[in-house]
Amino acid sequence: DVKVTQSSRYLVKRTGEKVFLECVQDMDHENMFWYRQDPGLGLRLIYFSYDVKMKEKGDIPEGYSVSREKKERFSLILESASTNQTSMYLCASRVTGGHQPQHFGDGTRLSIL
Amino acid sequence: GENVEQHPSTLSVQEGDSAVIKCTYSDSASNYFPWYKQELGKRPQLIIDIRSNVGEKKDQRIAVTLNKTAKHFSLHITETQPEDSAVYFCAASPDNYGQNFVFGPGTRLSVLP
């Protein structure tokens, strides 16, 4: 069974801090994703990566960056956290190839004070 | 790019009744359509998916139908139970390397005892 692990379930940070959210998957998936989930807006893609050191912007990349130094790990970085980045963040992974689902982590609820 | 709409945003049904959630998509290249269920405080989990070369797929009380011409697909849950209460997300995805999913905004289903 695919396991996607996010390092924190809850995180509280202050405005202006640099914040790191970590995600690890154990199924050797090529593709990894970071989403932001807000009520009424569904899941919005921030960044995704289809290989080590590769990254692509999603729909809402502003204020975020990512790092993928190893295949199993995908990090989301808030360069200078702001209150409007308070949200639930979900990581997902997916094997390359046709008709395959994404597998999600439990999410990190991030509060920026 | 792809745009996925989902209706209704909230749905309440009596236990034992059926529930139907509808999604439309815009990109005719999309050919894989997963449905996710997210219970309160938990990760989104795949419950059923359908490929574009199939018109209908069923798994016990859950079924999905796809109309490629009209670009819409629907989730049908029969004999609803309280544990079906959750937020349901539809998604659309082209079957290409590194492509991501576009999710609908979600439907909050409440099954009343």
pLDDT in tens, B58-109: 999 999 999 999 999 999 999 999 999 999 999 998 766 556 789 999 999 9
Digit-coded pLDDT (tens) for A47-71:
999 999 899 999 899 999 999 999 9
The CA distance from A79 to A82, in Å, is: 9
Give the separation between CA B36 and CA B50, rounded to whole angstroms. 12
How many alpha carbons fall within 13 Å on the CB side of residue B5?
6
Q: What is the pLDDT of residues B15-69, one digit of tens each?
A: 999 999 999 999 988 989 999 999 998 999 999 999 888 899 999 999 999 999 9
Residues of A with CB under 8 A from a CB of B: 4, 30-31, 33, 35, 40-45, 48, 50, 56, 58, 90, 96, 98-107
- pLDDT attached to residue B20: 98
Stretches where chain A sits below pLDDT 70 are none
Comparing CB atoms, the residue among A45, A98, A105 nearest residue B43 is A105
* Nearest CA-CA distance, residue A101 and chain B, Å: 7
Q: What is the pLDDT of residue B97?
A: 54
* Cα angle, residue B11 at apex, residues B29 and B80 outer, rounded to 5°: 95
Instruction: Give the pLDDT of residue A98.
Output: 73
| Burial (CB count <10 Å: 0-12, 13-18, 19+), residue A63 | middle
Q: Do A58 and B100 touch (CB under 8 A)?
A: yes
